[in-house]
Chains A and B, each alone.
Chain A
């Protein structure tokens, strides 16, 4: 039976059901089920987070000044982003203003994380959806060298370099272990790159793996350590001492120069390796423009990277802020994260219990009470679900909505809003890329567009890193060394009750934490994370979320090898660890695909 969703999609669950569980190469546990028509085109999609999250439960009664350290542990990849969001929420609640240097250093920390995450996502989590590793073994190293040199001045490009790599890869494959490459559908017809492009990409996969360690050294300089850098309510926990003879661990000229040199190397890698690879790979896939989903209609970004400390207005935020609805790029709606009627979470189709589930709850009043129950049309048993009943509750992810609308968040959302605002730093690189690929602007609304936006944003972030590092050095040279405001550090200076919200743009999209403080302890803490927006189940009105929408209408070459599904889901860089929590342990290496 075909049904029409209020947000403009037709769903038909009549055809055979394909279940992918778990979706591999993501953080956390995601399951998707789709129905195919007789031509193997996806006509219905059901995205489910099979874990529940309860950071709220852990944080109740803790010291708000420690909340960042807990939220940093939710997930292995967004550590600093959650920490930053948390300290902003506490500062907002307690009315704490941070010094300019602290704002600049936080921007550097956040941009570092953006660059690092985007680079690792592209090469280590997503590239293998476009790049066939096994095909690289058939490449001609000379032709690979010629290809590499035709697209970039990057020096590691000789025939001998690619030959050596090919031998190493062959040995690896012959040893019977494909290591990081083992979860692949090698030889799948949806792979379009010639062997030489595949070999070049595998070379850069390894170079990126080796290079990413340099980028995170910036976190060690300003955060004191890595993994798990330190943060501080009221500023940043790093003293500045340019003479370098003072406190142990203080940031001195030598360390500032180290950061500066890492930024130069990062810019070179992004501009000479990542971007050329992205353009080269996209050139072979420009006929595969599926996966747009909500991006052509409804997108949202909270904005981030404030130019001025404590100023979160449009004038200050360097990443765009706003909401686009109904595909109308001419109107960008403002967001108020504290307004009760704007951000709300629904649980009609989520495994939680609300007093009245026809209504959404604003995060200040959020409730996280698990309620696992399967619908009447479920196939299988509680412990071995063959097919979920999407008419009932079917996910541990809640359904957040902005004024009732399902929206997509992430790099593509940010770029569409920046483009619609006519901001040259977003519009010009997009127009240039579209021209190079010879595709219309509507090509942006696709899986490929999402992947491209992430690459462009990585370059933007690397350039902004340069800017903020220079700004920091200039401020320090002018004699301003303040990095923390400790006026309201002591709980005795706090009001009896307070509430606040902190937000960022995480690599994968809009992130906010809402906190209520009572008698100097955390009374309620709610996180609404990017993958909750993108991976949300249906809401009471039947609107589908971004993952589900993006999967619709995509043809599958072979339902037993769901490369097309994985490719589109990976383009969102899903991160389920903080969206939800593991329900059942799972040691399986490969995704199980079941066709019914």
Chain B
């Protein structure tokens, strides 16, 4: 990917599997972030699912990378853990994030090996309560952590000089990362 560009590019990435209880935290956080905040054109917001190594091209294309993910750090469920820059590769997603058990730190390693590593990194992680609930929703402590996780992400992006701004009420309805009954409310079969 082209690395000679003027505008530093920013990637906001959610990773995890929405079908696995709290493993869906990263996706739900990025989905809600995108619904509530609008971004300048040089910011990409991506629902990375469990794409593992297939995400490497998005990482190598970014100068700044902010990741939402569930992390297992033995904390009380729902606790947020913010990790910055050099500390990020030491953290693993709660589960191996798939593509053949590639942890996200391996995606970062691969980007490093390709010689295109983001200059700034931040991980907004959340301690899950239940990763085993196949087909289940986020548990309450993790669901309650989504709003503070988004607030933390906004602070980090602003510190990086990224001009994020709240969407007006009219913008919210159309700004959906997930559709086809997979969006947060429909998936959990909540009354909307």
Contacts known (A53-B134, A63-B181, A177-B109); A77 close to B99, Cβ less than 8 A: yes
Let me know if B72 and A62 touch, CB within 8 A: no
Let me know if A54 and B98 touch, CB within 8 A: no
User: What residues of B have a CB within 8 angstroms of the CB of A26 in the complex?
Assistant: 100-101
Q: How far is the CB of B93 from chain A (nearest CB, A)?
A: 9
User: What residues of A have a CB within 8 angstroms of the CB of B179 in the complex?
Assistant: 69
- Binding-face segment, B43-51, B76-84, B156-164, B167-175: B43-51
Taken together as a complex, chains A and B put the C-alpha atoms of A68 and B19 apart, in Å, by 14
Does residue B42 face the partner (Cβ distance < 8 Å to A)?
A: no
Let me know if A76 and B114 touch, CB within 8 A: no
Let me know if B109 and A179 touch, CB within 8 A: yes
What class of interface size applies to chain A in its complex with B? 35 or more
Chain A contacts with B in 374-404, Cβ cutoff 8 A: none
User: What residues of A have a CB within 8 angstroms of the CB of B135 in the complex?
Assistant: 54-55, 57-58
Does residue B191 face the partner (Cβ distance < 8 Å to A)?
A: no
Does residue A228 face the partner (Cβ distance < 8 Å to B)?
A: yes
Let me know if A75 and B109 touch, CB within 8 A: no
Let me know if B47 and A228 touch, CB within 8 A: yes
Let me know if B134 and A179 touch, CB within 8 A: no
Let me know if B98 and A582 touch, CB within 8 A: no
Q: How far is the CB of B14 from chain A (nearest CB, A)?
A: 11
- Binding-face segment, B30-38, B52-60, B118-126, B144-152: B52-60
From the candidates A62, A68, A75, A228, name the one contacting B98 in the complex (CB within 8 A). A75
Taken together as a complex, chains A and B put the C-alpha atoms of A59 and B55 apart, in Å, by 27
* Per-residue A-contact encoding for B1-44, CB less than 8 Å = 1, 0 else: 10000000000000001111000000000000000000000000
* Per-residue B-contact encoding for A197-215, CB less than 8 Å = 1, 0 else: 0000000001001101100
Does residue A440 face the partner (Cβ distance < 8 Å to B)?
A: no
Residue of B nearest to A62 (CB): B181
Taken together as a complex, chains A and B put the C-alpha atoms of A279 and B95 apart, in Å, by 36
Does residue B132 face the partner (Cβ distance < 8 Å to A)?
A: yes
Residue among A55, A79, A120, A585 facing the most chain B CB atoms (10 A cut-off): A585
Let me know if B109 and A180 touch, CB within 8 A: yes
Let me know if A585 and B95 touch, CB within 8 A: yes
Contacts known (A66-B181, A582-B132); A27 close to B101, Cβ less than 8 A: yes
Does residue A25 face the partner (Cβ distance < 8 Å to B)?
A: yes
Taken together as a complex, chains A and B put the C-alpha atoms of A177 and B20 apart, in Å, by 30
From the candidates A70, A76, A228, name the one contacting B52 in the complex (CB within 8 A). A76
Does residue A535 face the partner (Cβ distance < 8 Å to B)?
A: no
Does residue B154 face the partner (Cβ distance < 8 Å to A)?
A: no
User: What residues of B have a CB within 8 angstroms of the CB of A31 in the complex?
Assistant: none
Does residue B115 face the partner (Cβ distance < 8 Å to A)?
A: yes
Let me know if B110 and A180 touch, CB within 8 A: yes
Does residue A337 face the partner (Cβ distance < 8 Å to B)?
A: no
Does residue A22 face the partner (Cβ distance < 8 Å to B)?
A: yes
Contacts known (A58-B135, A179-B112); A227 close to B46, Cβ less than 8 A: yes
Q: How far is the CB of A98 from chain B (nearest CB, A)?
A: 18
Does residue B190 face the partner (Cβ distance < 8 Å to A)?
A: no
From the candidates B94, B97, B114, name the one contacting A209 in the complex (CB within 8 A). B114
Taken together as a complex, chains A and B put the C-alpha atoms of A28 and B50 apart, in Å, by 11
Let me know if B17 and A73 touch, CB within 8 A: yes
Does residue A118 face the partner (Cβ distance < 8 Å to B)?
A: no
From the candidates A22, A73, A79, name the one contacting B101 in the complex (CB within 8 A). A22
User: What residues of B have a CB within 8 angstroms of the CB of A28 in the complex?
Assistant: 98, 101
Let me know if B109 and A54 touch, CB within 8 A: no
Taken together as a complex, chains A and B put the C-alpha atoms of A577 and B112 apart, in Å, by 27
User: What residues of B have a CB within 8 angstroms of the CB of A124 in the complex?
Assistant: 53, 100
* Per-residue B-contact encoding for A74-105, CB less than 8 Å = 1, 0 else: 11110100000000000000000000000000
User: What residues of B have a CB within 8 angstroms of the CB of A568 in the complex?
Assistant: none
Let me know if B100 and A179 touch, CB within 8 A: no
Taken together as a complex, chains A and B put the C-alpha atoms of A27 and B134 apart, in Å, by 17
User: What residues of A have a CB within 8 angstroms of the CB of B48 in the complex?
Assistant: 227
Let me know if B134 and A58 touch, CB within 8 A: yes
Contacts known (A76-B98, A582-B131); A210 close to B53, Cβ less than 8 A: no
Let me know if B134 and A577 touch, CB within 8 A: no
Does residue B127 face the partner (Cβ distance < 8 Å to A)?
A: no
Let me know if A27 and B98 touch, CB within 8 A: yes
Does residue A172 face the partner (Cβ distance < 8 Å to B)?
A: yes
Taken together as a complex, chains A and B put the C-alpha atoms of A212 and B51 apart, in Å, by 13
Let me know if A73 and B113 touch, CB within 8 A: no
Let me know if A585 and B180 touch, CB within 8 A: no
Taken together as a complex, chains A and B put the C-alpha atoms of A79 and B46 apart, in Å, by 16
User: What residues of B have a CB within 8 angstroms of the CB of A172 in the complex?
Assistant: 112-113
Taken together as a complex, chains A and B put the C-alpha atoms of A22 and B95 apart, in Å, by 13
Taken together as a complex, chains A and B put the C-alpha atoms of A233 and B17 apart, in Å, by 24
Residue of B nearest to A51 (CB): B134
Residue among B46, B57, B180 facing the most chain A CB atoms (10 A cut-off): B180
Q: How far is the CB of B72 from chain A (nearest CB, A)?
A: 6
Contacts known (A57-B134, A66-B181, A180-B113); A27 close to B99, Cβ less than 8 A: yes
* Per-residue B-contact encoding for A39-72, CB less than 8 Å = 1, 0 else: 0000000000000111101100011011011100
Let me know if B114 and A125 touch, CB within 8 A: no
From the candidates A76, A125, A168, name the one contacting B50 in the complex (CB within 8 A). A76
Taken together as a complex, chains A and B put the C-alpha atoms of A68 and B182 apart, in Å, by 11
Does residue B63 face the partner (Cβ distance < 8 Å to A)?
A: no
Q: How far is the CB of A175 from chain B (nearest CB, A)?
A: 9
Let me know if A52 and B134 touch, CB within 8 A: yes
Let me know if A213 and B134 touch, CB within 8 A: no
From the candidates A52, A69, A73, A168, name the one contacting B115 in the complex (CB within 8 A). A168
Let me know if B106 and A179 touch, CB within 8 A: yes
Does residue A146 face the partner (Cβ distance < 8 Å to B)?
A: no
Q: How far is the CB of B78 from chain A (nearest CB, A)?
A: 17
User: What residues of A have a CB within 8 angstroms of the CB of B72 in the complex?
Assistant: 585, 587
Let me know if B20 and A74 touch, CB within 8 A: no
Residue among B19, B100, B110 facing the most chain A CB atoms (10 A cut-off): B100
* Per-residue B-contact encoding for A1-42, CB less than 8 Å = 1, 0 else: 000000000000000000000101111100000000000000
Residue of A nearest to B102 (CB): A180
Q: How far is the CB of B135 from chain A (nearest CB, A)?
A: 4
Taken together as a complex, chains A and B put the C-alpha atoms of A585 and B20 apart, in Å, by 11
User: What residues of B have a CB within 8 angstroms of the CB of A24 in the complex?
Assistant: 101
User: What residues of A have a CB within 8 angstroms of the CB of B52 in the complex?
Assistant: 76-77
Let me know if A209 and B56 touch, CB within 8 A: yes
Contacts known (A66-B180, A583-B132); A25 close to B100, Cβ less than 8 A: yes
User: What residues of A have a CB within 8 angstroms of the CB of B49 in the complex?
Assistant: 73, 76, 79, 227-228
Let me know if A54 and B50 touch, CB within 8 A: no
Does residue A581 face the partner (Cβ distance < 8 Å to B)?
A: yes
Chain A to chain B contacts (Cβ below 8 Å), 28 pairs: A24-B101, A25-B100, A55-B19, A58-B134, A65-B180, A68-B180, A69-B182, A73-B18, A73-B49, A74-B19, A75-B50, A76-B54, A76-B97, A76-B98, A77-B52, A77-B54, A77-B99, A77-B100, A180-B109, A206-B113, A212-B54, A216-B54, A227-B54, A228-B49, A582-B20, A582-B95, A585-B131, A586-B95
8 extra A-B contacts, CB within 8 A, seeds A73-B18, A76-B54: A28-B98, A58-B19, A62-B181, A69-B181, A77-B52, A180-B53, A227-B48, A227-B54
Shortest beta-carbon contacts, A-B, top 9: A179-B109, A213-B57, A76-B50, A69-B180, A76-B98, A58-B135, A66-B181, A66-B180, A76-B99
